[in-house]
Amino acid sequence: MRLKFIPPLMPTLVETPPAGDDWIHEVKFDGYRSQLIIDEDGTRIYTRNGHDWTAKYRDLVKEADSLGAESAIVDGEIIVLNGAGLSDFGELRKAITRRQHDLYFVAFDLLHLNGHDLRDMALEERREILASMIEPGGRIQFSEPLPGEASAIFHLVDQAGLEGMVSKRRDSKYRSGPSTNWLKAKCYSVDEYELLGVEREAGKPAFALMAERGTGRYVGSAFINSRGAIRDRLWKRVQEHAGPPPKGMKRPATQWVKPGLIGRVKHLRGEEDLRHASLQDFREEDATRLK
């Protein structure tokens, strides 16, 4: 029987991980959420949206034989590791096209096995079966639970430079779509971006529009504290060095600025664009550029 792709269960974003013994905590890996399907037609790997990317993951498809399953559906994340041993989203795209041997499939849930639908089983039981199928040291790895109390784990995850953690109810069934049975708590990073302008509307929060340094690619907006000294200093700078809008950008209520202002932005780690971002400070990249 040919198995069909199952839309994934999507965790809910929370500020802090849940406390108590009812939860299993895991590292939130910085990669591509993927689904590995084994059946009589062979092995296939799908993206989180159900696109067949089997051809892109040739080495991992071969590695699936090590699971020893006649048929299976495994939920996981495809990652590549950097020099520090952390999952690196930036390197992932390069590895898919040029370094297949550097890819790992980190498995964290088992939805189907040898003709049996396991989604009504408790998560803890599904994961126990999955762990028994995976041989250590291969390209398919098991997402090990993190021992300890939730807040202490989160602190260590943050200190290690990881993206965050996912907490899952031990007794939960697997249901596709958004769920509060899985919760993700993400860590923050502070990075520098080029300031494009400031968006201000009466009665609304002000936002700094930011771009990736070097490429000029717009990455999103960062909240500006309405009562901070930074806001007043920034607005004065923007007015003094007003410039034309970047090519192709049309935003009402935005005061654009000449290149040369760099903003320090606190934002959620592991996102391609800025999320939950706030401007911490700003500086001039090169004073001569603003004159």
Q: What is the pLDDT of residues 266-275, one digit of tens each?
A: 988 877 788 8
pLDDT at 227 over 70: no
Domain of residue 73, CATH code: 3.30.470.30
Count structural domains, the chain: 2
Per the domain annotation, does 175 fall within a domain?
yes
3-state secondary structure 23-50: EEEEEECCCEEEEEEEECCEEEEEECCC
Beta strand pairing call for 177-186 and 9-14? parallel
Nearest residue to 130 via CA among 154, 105, 153: 105
Model pLDDT for residues 146-203, shown as the tens digit of each residue: 999 999 999 999 988 888 999 999 999 999 999 999 999 999 888 999 999 998 887 7
Asked whether the CA dihedral 223, 226, 227, 233 is positive or negative, the reply is: positive
CA atoms in the 13 A half-sphere facing the CB of 281: 5
For residue 209, how many other CB atoms are within 10 A of its CB? 26
Model pLDDT for residues 11-65, shown as the tens digit of each residue: 999 989 999 999 999 999 889 999 999 999 999 999 999 999 999 999 999 999 9
Residue 192 and residue 103 in one domain: no
Per the domain annotation, does 3 fall within a domain?
no
Per the domain annotation, does 161 fall within a domain?
yes
The reported pLDDT for the residue numbered 234 is 86
Using pLDDT thresholds of 50, 70 and 90, give the confidence band for residue 249.
Answer: confident
Residue 132 and residue 200 in one domain: no
Residue 27 and residue 163 in one domain: yes
Average pLDDT taken over every residue of the chain = 89
Is 194:45 a contact under the CB 8 Å cutoff? no
pLDDT at 99 over 80: no
Q: What is this structure's pTM?
A: 0.77
The reported pLDDT for the residue numbered 291 is 42
Residue 16 and residue 153 in one domain: yes
Beta strand pairing call for 140-142 and 103-113? parallel
Domain of residue 203, CATH code: 2.40.50.140
Residue 194 and residue 153 in one domain: no
Residue 156 and residue 286 in one domain: no
Using pLDDT thresholds of 50, 70 and 90, give the confidence band for residue 84.
Answer: low
Per the domain annotation, does 197 fall within a domain?
yes
Residue 100 and residue 170 in one domain: yes
Residue 207 and residue 122 in one domain: no
Give percent above pLDDT 90 in the chain.
Answer: 60
Residue 213 and residue 165 in one domain: no
The reported pLDDT for the residue numbered 80 is 87
The reported pLDDT for the residue numbered 290 is 45
Measuring CA to CA, how many Å separate 150 from each of 20, 26, 173, 180? 8, 10, 22, 16
Average pLDDT over residues 197-210: 86
- The SS3 assignment for 123 reads helix
Residue 176 and residue 85 in one domain: yes
Per the domain annotation, does 1 fall within a domain?
no
Residue 247 and residue 126 in one domain: no
Domain end (from 151, 186, 221): 186
What is the domain range of residue 200?
188-290
- Rounded CA-CA distance 185/167 in Å is 8
